[in-house]
Copies of this chain bind each other. A is one copy, B any other.
């Protein structure tokens, strides 16, 4: 028997379904002999009670909030996740947090479709992933409220996002203010495999800062590749091999900044004495290694996103927008003044 039900158990044990249910729920009103009969039938048949039927019958409403993100590859997910959990804890309601990891970008859409078709989630937090118009319609039509975290969203109400372009500007400006003139950008290739334009936006900010400070654009100072420490490491080696290597690097994420720093050290140079490095995100790690970076309040964005979503789920008539605090330049030890005069 593929999937025995309590009817099968009842028949095998020679009792009624009510009795089986009572045994299953540890009701005391069952004689020891009957209980033993039922338990043995359960064992024989390999019976497993259906969670869904039970929930329907008892009227328990378990609501799931899905968090979907390519988190294995993105370290910043942790901080957002922590914020989400915090918001969930603060409101004492029966929502479960279900994790969906997008391991392969091609499967992302498929995963969304499955969620809609199989009604697995009641609400969705989408982080570090783009939502196409089709996908928005799909979710809307299915009645699944969702909140986008961190990227790719215009002025949509349901989006918690920093001003990436401004962040890119701030980072580059910091380096320019320190006197650097050969400033490189290390970031993700765009258009990104997940379809979000974070790298592009920060790059645009970088460009506008250069322009404002009257620095001519050098395409060899812009190095794009896959997200991650290793790629950044490789790109930096390439930068250092240039006839006129940069004196400062703006990495689009802290993890990539780490890759840059390691490459610089391996080349026998020092950070920040020889080359300054600024990152982006301010993940926990950055504090420990003393990385100058642009703080984007990751934990808080998870927190606000969850708050907003809960708001949409529990009081859909009265959804209030959430504001992320502005980006913040955090100066630590990885950037330093530079002047051609001292060379």
Contacts and interface: CB of A to CB of B under 8 A. Distances in A.
A285 B287 CA distance: 11
A51 B119 contact: yes
Contacts of A242: none
Interface stretch (A92-100, A213-221, A326-334): A92-100
A149 B75 CA distance: 22
Name which of A56, A75, A88, A97 has the most chain B CB atoms within 10 A of its CB.
Answer: A56
Contacts of A72: 82, 85-86
Nearest to A96: B98
Interface string A54-68: 111010111010000
Contacts of A103: 89
B48 A52 contact: no
Contact of A122 (B51, B85, B101, B143): B51
B118 A55 contact: yes
A125 to B, nearest CB: 12
A190 interface: no
A98 B103 CA distance: 17
Nearest to A289: B288
Contacts of A60: 118-119
A195 to B, nearest CB: 20
The 6 A-B pairs of least Cβ separation, nearest first, read A51-B119, A52-B55, A97-B99, A52-B56, A85-B101, A89-B103
